[in-house]
Structure 1
Amino acid sequence: MSGKPHAPACDRNRDPILAVLRECFADHRRVLEIGSGTGQHAVYFAAAMPWLTWQASDVEANLPGIRAWLDDAGLANTPPPLVLDVLAPWPQVEADAVFTANTLHIMGWDGVQAFFQGAGRLLAAAPEGTLVAYGPFNDGGRFTSASNREFDRWLKARDPQSGIRDFQAVDRLAAGVGLQLAADVAMPANNRCLVWKRTGAGPGDRLACGK
């Protein structure tokens, strides 16, 4: 692990997330990960899903750590990470899926809006495009657990613009860029995996990405 950043939370949540992604990305070919952080998820998911090209991205300051993880793993399906700030022009990249973990509560609401606008533009060229967002979410304006309430207080103490987002609010943003909710999967530690697709999802499609 020397020389590489490490987030213990990535070790804890990677397998539950992978169980969702294996189903939702089974027919996809190239995933753009927004906010790859340490790079741990990129390496783990790319190794477990070799049919995917896993394109990591983040703000420039985080790229050295991501590169360290990718270089150490030496996987054929992880190209060099891209600089991507959701509030700046996005790099030109082709992808039929977008994934992000634990980012929407870190960025300000303007960043959340920019995230959905950018993902919508990217997936507009992919008829079966899929967007997956993992993290804590409120429901109907209410916290779903005491721990999430405390986490939100901690976030706002660090940055008043951050905070746990309301599920209904982010779902409206997704709908505004042509994405329809296909699955809402409960995850450990009061987190959720929200899955949106470009095409209409009937009951059978929802089961394909978890219950």
Structure 2
Amino acid sequence: MKKHSPATLRNREAILSVLRHELPEWGTVLEVASGSGEHAVYFAEHMPALAWQPSDPDLEALASIKAYRADYEGVNLREPVALDAREGEWPIGRADAILCINMVHISTWRSTIGLFYAASHVLNGSDAPLILYGPFIEQGVKTAQSNVDFDAGLRARNPEWGIREVETLEKHATFRGFSRTARYEMPANNLMLVYRQTGEAEPVDDIFAHFKE
């Protein structure tokens, strides 16, 4: 029932170090695309003042999260919810932070659009961060060969997947009223990008038709 991700053991301490700087002291953290649930348990254990809300669209992932939660001795890890970032409406009404680890590149561009759209409605105030972790391509920064190869492999598996360009990501972030407030270089050629709402989202009838990758 429990799923295991070797990458979680490798990156969780580095991610936690950043989260300690960027997350609020208390409140609810919504983790989008929680996967196996190993990150959720680890972060909930190390930040007991925060209520951790895991989520995922995959039934096997949700089962894994529930299995880890069953063994968790704390009280701040909530029951996981089914949440698909591609949908404009989410089952979570409010959150004080949103964390999304390794989803943007292993999902369609629609998922990223949906993530920013829903975050603009769900996040509780301008200090509430939307935090992304994963590999990204940046203009003016040489892309590591490992990421070039990884990107090619992703697109071979699914043409709609792939490592996203930060500049394209941030055009849409601005459209939704977000600005990047921090950038952290992480191990294995990954980044953590932190966004907060500093403006108003542009009105649009169809968020998915408006902005293409």
Q: Provide TM-score, normalisation by structure 2.
A: 0.87
CA distance in 1, matches of 2:24, 2:119: 19
Report the CA distance between 1:43 and its aligned residue. 0.3
In 2, are the aligned partners of 1:35 and 1:59 still within 8 Å (CA)?
Answer: yes
- Secondary structure of the residue that 1:73 maps to in structure 2? coil
Residue matched to 2:194: 195
Please tell me the residue identity of whatever aligns with 1:23.
H
Please tell me the residue identity of whatever aligns with 1:120.
S
Residue matched to 2:121: 121
Residue matched to 1:175: 174
- Secondary structure of the residue that 2:195 maps to in structure 1? strand
- Secondary structure of the residue that 1:164 maps to in structure 2? coil
Residue from 34, 43, 46 that aligns with 2:44: 46
Residue matched to 1:84: 83
Residue matched to 1:149: 148
Please tell me the residue identity of whatever aligns with 1:140.
Q
> What 5-or-longer segments of structure 2 have no aligned partner?
200-213
CA distance in 2, matches of 1:15, 1:34: 19
Residue matched to 1:112: 112
Report the CA distance between 1:199 and its aligned residue. 4.1
> What 5-or-longer segments of structure 1 have no aligned partner?
201-211
Give the RMSD, CA atoms, in angstroms. 1.6
Please tell me the residue identity of whatever aligns with 2:72.
A
CA distance in 2, matches of 1:22, 1:74: 21
In 1, are the aligned partners of 2:24 and 2:128 still within 8 Å (CA)?
Answer: no
CA distance in 2, matches of 1:45, 1:76: 13
CA distance in 1, matches of 2:126, 2:146: 38
Report the CA distance between 1:102 and its aligned residue. 0.3
In 2, are the aligned partners of 1:28 and 1:97 still within 8 Å (CA)?
Answer: no
CA distance in 2, matches of 1:103, 1:60: 13
1:15–1:137 CA distance, 2 compared to 1 (3 A): same
- Secondary structure of the residue that 2:130 maps to in structure 1? strand
Query: What is the percent sequence identity of the aligned residues?
Result: 41
CA distance in 2, matches of 1:109, 1:84: 16
CA distance in 1, matches of 2:45, 2:139: 37
Paired residues in the alignment total: 197
CA distance in 2, matches of 1:189, 1:93: 34
